Amino acid sequence: MENGEVLNGKEEFEKYLESENVGTPTVGEVRKCTVLSSGTEYVIVDLSAKTEGMITKRELVRNPESYKPGETIEAMVINYKGEEEGARTYLSERRFMIPKLLEEVRKSMEEKRTVKGYVTKKVRGGYTVEIEGTLSAFLPGSQASYLNSISNEDLVKKEFEFEVINFEERNNGNNIVLSMDALVKKQVEEFLNGIELGSKLTGVIKDITSFGAFVDVGPMTALLPRSEISWDKNVNFKDKFRVGDKIEGVVISKDTVNRKMSISLKRLSNDPWDDIEAKYPVGTVVDATVTGIAPYGVFVKISDGIKGLVRSEDIFWGNYRRNLKDYFHENENVKVEVTEIDKNRRRISFSIKDVGGDPWNGIEEKYHVGDTVKTKVEKILDTGVILGIEEEVSGFAHISELSWNFVKNPSDLFKKNQEVEAEILEINPEKRRMKLSVKRLQKDPWEELAKNVKMGTSVDCEIVNLKNSGAILRVVDFNVEGFLPKSQFYEGIKVGDTFKAKVHKISYNPQLDERDMVVTIKGEPTEQAPHAKKESPKEDEFFNQGPMRTTIGEMVNQKGEKQS
């Protein structure tokens, strides 16, 4: 029909269709079709005939929704309904493809070629595989051990290659049996034969276990042992990696016969112990991170794979028997000095105290007897207080140097970390000791007392402590210590009692460090000392001895020791 020519009547239109070979389709005829539209259950095609064609889902090779308008496919006519039945042609893409695919599968088996397909489901004894979306085949479980390492999700999404190990055409269905292991075995052997020890490769972590990880490196799965993750043996594998991570490794072993291979991550870099003596010679000061704390020292890491110990005696210059957890915590950054390297045993030792040097070296040039220093209370003992002057330099203030008054418990006056000023009394660099005094920075109350109190002066007193030989008391008006002999005790005397007493003996000589007073209540009104005892000749001798050369506290202790 030429342009401009008009067709008249039904007869002429039928002649046109016959001349263009678009007449009525014949069952079994193969037609080239153009996709017009697609749905979830079928595809509508133009097959150049009087009617449009329909291919249902079961007769398609792919999912109906994957067919796009304009796409050309070939299909076989399987049914035709005329106008009286709705004018519809039904076709099958699968029936057209099956003979061609069967012939291709047959040739693949004969020529030892592979076919591609998808695992659709797991069945008894194996798996169902679909070839080209059309042919159904069986993959025995005994021929599919490779699939054991693949997740179910990846199993149905990934296209695999198979070998055809059996092919039979039957009237009631074709029998196609596939194998994967034979093909994988061949591929793995070729892969292992083609790779050298020390070669680098990339892979994806498929599984993580307590002893390492399995890595998909293509045709096979390689083992990444836990010991080959890092030169740092304490690295936590599960914190470092996740399933699905892509990694690079070095081949460290392969077994072609058993089709096994191991890879290493740490060997991507050199063993840090190989050049440790050159990189960290003894005496080098380096930054380190605390990785562990033990009663005998602190473990530190200076780089990946290089971890050592700082022993307790190499941490503090003074007393190193301390609770290290009070001074360090994990992941803390510290500076250390390398003190010893044993390359063969892969051991390295450090010192923290040597980094800054011994603070007691040249101590007498920095501090002098009589200096006033600012300190902080480090420890409170029954016998006195340890006062920190600077890092690793501390001194001791004896209980007798804490106050001009009687001190029963140093904890009554001081608290830990309290800031205190003290005077240096003595420096001994050899023994790393320093004696301090807190009270000597305070005004000496004995100076005022010596001006106003004489023998026989009446003073107000308070009992502050009881001893076997007598009582330690406080002279209220001057806030100094005095002593009441036991012979002067009255019945029921106790700490906290107040009374008037007369000064029986007083000794004040600051040059000789003499500050002592003895009081008596003899001769006082009976209501104040109802049970005062008469002095004995020995007590007269005690009261009339010469100037005291010891402190009252020392005298009381001496008498107590004799009685015990």
pLDDT at residue 370 greater than cutoff 90: yes
Sketch out the chain's domains with CATH numbers. Answer: 18-95 (2.40.50.140), 112-184 (2.40.50.140), 195-268 (2.40.50.140), 276-355 (2.40.50.140), 363-441 (2.40.50.140), 446-563 (2.40.50.140)
Q: Length of the chain, please?
A: 564
The answer to whether residues 380 and 410 touch, using CB atoms and an 8 Å cutoff, is yes
- Amino acid identity, position 27: V
User: E strands along 242-332, which residues?
Assistant: 246-255, 260-264, 285-294, 297-303, 306-311
What is the value of pTM for the model shown? Answer: 0.47
Say what percent of the chain tops pLDDT 70. 86
Express each pLDDT in 456-501 by its tens digit. Answer: 999 999 998 899 999 999 999 888 889 999 999 988 999 999 999 9
Does residue 8 surpass a pLDDT of 60?
no
Confidence grade of residue 551 (pLDDT, cut at 50, 70, 90): very low
Measured CA distances, 270 to 224, 230, 251, 336 (Å): 18, 11, 15, 24
Q: Which residues pair with 158 in a beta bridge?
A: none
Phi and psi at residue 14, to the nearest 5°:
-70, -35
Please check the confidence at residue 405 and state whether its pLDDT lies above 70.
Answer: yes
Residue reference for tokens 């005397």: 493
8 Å CB contact between 479 and 445: yes
